[in-house]
Amino acid sequence: MAPSNWQLIASDNTLAFYQPQLDADNGKEVCQPLLQALEASVLEWQQDADMMTWLIDFEGTRLMLKAAHYTQSVWLEALDEEGDEVITFLRRWWTRHLPL
């Protein structure tokens, strides 16, 4: 089930969320429910001054999960064409599994 406090802000080629609880110090904790909902594993993680970046594995496809605390936004980026297809799938999945 999709976490309830994640507001989808998606366009055709992205999967992006507004996450009001995100700040500079809690990115790992705030993004954990999203990773659990996707059943994705973290391969690498990096924290910069204004952005947190995770290289994740979702069912064999590597994606970038990024979070920017200034805009309280979190989004997935494809690393290749296969990733584009996975993001399209995830966007459809998310809209069908939003909590009531």
5: which residues sit within 8 A by CB, 6+ positions away? 19, 20, 21
pLDDT in tens, 23-38: 888 989 999 999 998 9
| pTM listed for this prediction | 0.86
pLDDT in tens, 59-76: 999 999 999 999 999 999
Mean pLDDT, range 33-51, rounded to an integer: 92
Specify the higher pLDDT residue, 58 or 24: 58
50 vs 53: CA distance, rounded Å: 10
Percentage above 90 pLDDT, the chain: 60
Q: What is the mean pLDDT of the chain?
A: 87
